[in-house]
Amino acid sequence: MRIGHGYDVHKLENGRKLILGGVDIPYEKGLLGHSDADVLVHAVMDALLGAAGLGDIGKAFPDTDPAYEGISSLRLLDMVMDLLRQAGLRVSNVDATILAQRPRLSPYIQRMRENLAMHMDISAGRINVKATTEEGLGFTGAREGMAAHAVCLLEEL
């Protein structure tokens, strides 16, 4: 068994869609990044890659590569899953936390879990997604950006 931890952060900006866990969430701002900037999926991918000893998403999908510009993070997750299968690994479970002052995310969490599960080929019951505010503290509390942490457990096939 292998354990991995992932963390990601993106700045909020006008004129961008807010995509979290592959869900398009209505909000006045979206996350800035080279891809769709899905901070949740990025943290999950970093956890998976780290547990497998395969580096991180910056190594796997550099933001200097135009091939990844605007790409869906769920598509990148599919590529990470291919790497895990090649390494003889599968996902046992994932636990993730999104840090965001606004918008309220609870209505979207089940769809996020289902999206992640579908792309990782596991049941949604093996994925937990939580959202929390930071009580107005720090950059997430000031609504300047969002962050996410993820922990995963991988098993050998």
Q: Which amino acids are annotated as binding site, given as ranges?
A: 8-10, 34-35, 42, 56-58, 61-65, 132-135, 139
Q: Closest Cα partner for 79 from 113, 24, 35?
A: 35
Q: List the binding residues for a divalent metal cation.
A: 8, 10, 42
Spatial separation of the C-alpha atoms in residues 93 and 127, rounded to whole Å: 6
* Neighbouring residues of 152: CB distance < 8 A, sequence distance ≥ 6: 3, 4, 6, 44, 47, 48, 51, 91, 92, 93, 94, 95
The verdict on whether omega for the bond into residue 107 sits within 30 degrees of 0, i.e. cis, is no
Give yes or no for a contact between 131 and 137, defined as CB atoms under 8 angstroms apart.
Answer: no
Burial of 140 (0-12, 13-18, 19+ CB in 10 A): buried
